[in-house]
Structure 1
């Protein structure tokens, strides 16, 4: 009955999205905006309702990337609230990209303990209030076209309160300022960042947080590898590999592990988390008709305190399928609703804009 309830809700939500996706095209067929309601159910939010709006700006040149400004606001029956402003800009013939984030979050989530072997029925809820600002600037200037480099700044003030629950060995809440900066470099031959049909991405990133800037000192690293291949004119295969590491006085909610939305979908963020984590993904995406598409995927992931422990630990696995709704077809921008079977034991749902990876 629970399975039928979630499947029925997933179908209802997607029909609602199809009916409500909005665009405004001028005589030259430039889409100016898209508005989509948020109405659904996920493991982390339970029932949620809100709205997401995307404003598209004219590019500097006819075939250039389209700048956009995203605004999201939603609440949930679990007592969660999130407001988010997320702009993307492109400069100098798309050789420079600027991403920004301004977020307020009043969030309830479950803490399942640290490590690779959580019990889904044993957890302690915590409430997190967070103000977050972030900026990432990437550039290809001075390098061959396939290469890129960049810098990122992260500023966040967080207050966390644990509730009474089944887990009594609770971590330090690490409330306060978490401010840092870092760099990235990579090789990126993707033809499109929204729905990539061919190409690959290999990216290394490090972020350094210091008590000279905030209240805690730690660092996080990631190696992100992705490959894409066109199977037919409307079908794409995507493969992904992500390795993460976090060292120092790391807040428990910033440990390495899944985010539940893009990397290992359908679980609460950091359902299994530790100092290191690895996540592997495979997905086949199919455009069907009008603004509709679908995909099927397989994901595996695990975490560990050290690399040797990470290697020894068992894999978490997930299989699933999802529906896609085109928000801006010229930019290959789709919203997605994913249904997953996690560890062949429990079900998960997730909703997001853009592909998972």
Structure 2
């Protein structure tokens, strides 16, 4: 068994977006092992992402994932603070690019929880969280200002989480074989301004198809149900995980379904690892998927959105299988609008 050493990787945060102008900051990931004796114990990790902009905006993220010996317990935590602009397009699968309305979202969220192995590969877990949101329309008179959307003023939430997980993947990061199925949700209680439940079912399957080659499949269903559901509690289609190629706030609604497949190829994976700069750590990926959002009143096959793309990954920690991922994705093209695309620089795989 390879020696289980910790790894600290700092990295710069640089970018540009029309709503923020120049973006800069620093991030870091620290991978380590609570137990260094068992070959089964997964790596633990701390992740930090800190971004500032030329428009005096800020986004701070700190996350942690801790695995105890033989993966009996899994503890997780996440803290996010942002004072950041987003484009709001309305609700549903038929929003228009021309309705884009820039709003400032000042948001804080902290959650912490744990999962306990109850039988082999099966975990039951629970968590608690606090959330506070405040929204300001940067351009009054737009769709956000004039529309009747629940929760436009923001609010505060107390969250109770619960989940059941089946997980027999060989690795949590860059999986090459195995299955993963999670069913879980978050419900409000206590001093919350809103009353709803957000529930997710996430299934994944990974199949080796050749030497250093893997096919991965994922299907996701999300739903928000309750007597008063703020717009920011609804499911968002897109982002760097599932259905890449769409701006995360472009399409949102009470329900979401999405499915995707990804081919991953590590052409020089059998060669000797020569340290941090090594061809054996290079991975190529290609993916395709589809999905949509819809209200309780009805799902339409005609509203499914396509997603295609590919990218390259670099495995900066081969023992823990941690990767840095660069993906480019292409989505649909609506009449009179530019084709939807996305470029993503992320840690670890989309699923």
- Say yes or no: TM over 0.5: yes
Give the match for residue 347 of structure 2: 353
Give the deviation of 1:159 after TM superposition: 1.1
Give the match for residue 122 of structure 1: 99
Q: Which of 254, 262, 286 is the matching residue for 2:265?
A: 286
The 2-side partners of 1:34 and 1:174 are apart by 39
The 1-side partners of 2:4 and 2:82 are apart by 36
CA offsets per residue over residues 290-346 of structure 1, 9 Å max, x none?
33222111121111111x622455111111111212221111110112111111423
The 1-side partners of 2:299 and 2:87 are apart by 23
The 2-side partners of 1:170 and 1:325 are apart by 45
Distance 1:32 1:118, change over 3 A: same
Q: How many pairs align?
A: 327
Distance 1:226 1:161, change over 3 A: same
CA offsets per residue over residues 1-47 of structure 1, 9 Å max, x none?
xxxxxxxxxxxxxxxxxxxxxxxxxx957242112222345798675
Give the match for residue 333 of structure 1: 322
- Please report the TM-score for the alignment, with normalisation by the length of structure 2: 0.86
Aligned 8 A contact 1:80 1:107 in 2:
yes
Query: Equivalences for 1:1-357 in 2 at 5 Å?
Result: 30-40=5-15, 48-62=23-37, 63=39, 64-76=41-53, 80-141=57-118, 143=119, 145-164=120-139, 166-167=142-143, 168-171=146-149, 172-210=151-189, 212-248=190-226, 249-288=228-267, 289-306=279-296, 309-344=298-333, 345-357=339-351
Aligned with 1:115: secondary structure?
Answer: coil
> Which ranges in structure 1 are unaligned for 5 or more consecutive residues?
1-26
Give the deviation of 1:190 after TM superposition: 1.0
Give the match for residue 12 of structure 1: none
CA offsets per residue over residues 251-287 of structure 1, 9 Å max, x none?
2122023251212223222321111110111111122
Give the match for residue 275 of structure 2: none
Aligned 8 A contact 2:34 2:68 in 1:
no
Distance 1:346 1:56, change over 3 A: closer
The 2-side partners of 1:29 and 1:252 are apart by 44
Aligned with 2:235: secondary structure?
Answer: coil
Greater strand fraction, Structure 1 or Structure 2: 2
Distance 1:182 1:44, change over 3 A: farther
Give the deviation of 1:351 after TM superposition: 2.0
CA offsets per residue over residues 184-220 of structure 1, 9 Å max, x none?
113211111111111111211121113x232211111
> Which ranges in structure 2 are unaligned for 5 or more consecutive residues?
268-278, 334-338
The 1-side partners of 2:287 and 2:184 are apart by 26
Aligned 8 A contact 2:4 2:319 in 1:
no
The 2-side partners of 1:318 and 1:295 are apart by 14
The 2-side partners of 1:264 and 1:81 are apart by 26
Distance 1:346 1:76, change over 3 A: farther
The 2-side partners of 1:179 and 1:56 are apart by 30
Give the deviation of 1:129 after TM superposition: 0.9
Aligned 8 A contact 2:238 2:245 in 1:
no
RMSD (Å) for aligned C-alpha atoms: 2.2
Aligned with 1:190: secondary structure?
Answer: coil
Distance 1:140 1:65, change over 3 A: same
